[in-house]
Structure 1
Amino acid sequence: MNGSLEGLLPFLMYFATGLAAMVVFKVLYALLTPFDEWELVKKDFNTAAAISIGGALLGFTLALASAAEHSIAYTDFLIWAAVAMAAQLLTFTVVRFVLLPNIVSKIENNQIAGAVVLASINISVGVLNAACMSY
């Protein structure tokens, strides 16, 4: 039984850190957006905002999971988690200011098509991000 629980402490460290990283990502992502997606979802039942934040979180978490799986030590995981976060935040910035400059108004106006494109880009970059971490 003791051998079975040897990995429990590292699991708890990585899992707790992963959850904390997701919260930090959500906060930083919200700072990049001129609106609060959580509020749009909670108060206005804005489906576009839900799709948008869901895609951003999923994209980041895919990369975060790869960082956890491929890291050789806890500090390595922390470094690659930060790289994953930076890549996902940069993605939104490029989408917002270069590819789809009107994406903010589309999300605020609950336009599903824009949200699906944004979520798809975030998830795609997350998959690519995760694959590139398989060193």
Structure 2
Amino acid sequence: MEDAFGTLLKGLPVFMAHSAVSLLILLVGVIVYLKMTRHDEMALIREGNTAAALSLGGAIVGLALPLAFSLAASITLWDLVFWGVVALVLQIIAFRIVDLVLKGVSDRIEAGEVATAVFLVSIKLATAAVNAAAISG
């Protein structure tokens, strides 16, 4: 029992630091994503727009997946920062490309088109899964 407690005390600061840095990187990524979108997803969600909620939820999970794999593969805090930022930049670029390819996606989300949101979420999550696997090597 003492060994387990000692391990906990030794590992807890590392766990807390890695968790805090990961959540901070995720928060920054979500803020960047929200600034990137043409529509105000938070306002749409407050109005009850399900398509906007799906789109933003998919983006958040899509940003978190590669970040989680970066966290799992990192050895040091600097590894996490480097690969976490790389993962988020790649995801945001991928999201932007999808938004450009799917013409009028913002108008469709604003209109509450759930089908468009589900398709968008699917692409974001598929991209996140591929990027997460690439990061973990």
TM range (shorter): over 0.9
List structure 1 segments (4+ residues) > 3 angstroms apart after TM superposition.
Answer: none
Q: Structure 1 or 2: larger helix share?
A: 2
CA distance in 2, matches of 1:39, 1:8: 38
| Equivalent of residue 21 in structure 1, options 25, 44, 49 | 25
CA distance in 1, matches of 2:119, 2:94: 13
| Equivalent of residue 39 in structure 1, options 22, 40, 43 | 43
Matched with 1:116 is 118
1:85 pairs with 2:95: no
Matched with 2:130 is 128
Please list every run of 5 or more consecutive structure 2 residues that lacks an aligned counterpart in the other structure: none
CA distance in 1, matches of 2:30, 2:73: 23
TM-score (structure 2 length as normaliser): 0.93
Please list every run of 5 or more consecutive structure 1 residues that lacks an aligned counterpart in the other structure: none
TM-score (structure 1 length as normaliser): 0.94
> Matched residue of 2:84: which SS?
helix
Deviations 1:58-95 (A, max 9, x none): 01111000000001211011011111111111112111
Number of paired residues? Answer: 133
CA distance in 2, matches of 1:96, 1:23: 21
The one-letter amino acid of 1:65's match is: A
> Matched residue of 1:2: which SS?
helix
The one-letter amino acid of 1:22's match is: L
Matched with 1:75 is 78
Identity percentage of aligned residues: 35
CA-CA distance at 1:5 after TM superposition: 2.3
How much is the aligned-residue C-alpha RMSD, in angstroms?
Answer: 1.0
Matched with 1:30 is 34
CA distance in 2, matches of 1:4, 1:95: 43
**Would the aligned equivalents of 2:87 and 2:135 in 1 still touch at CA under 8 Å?**
no
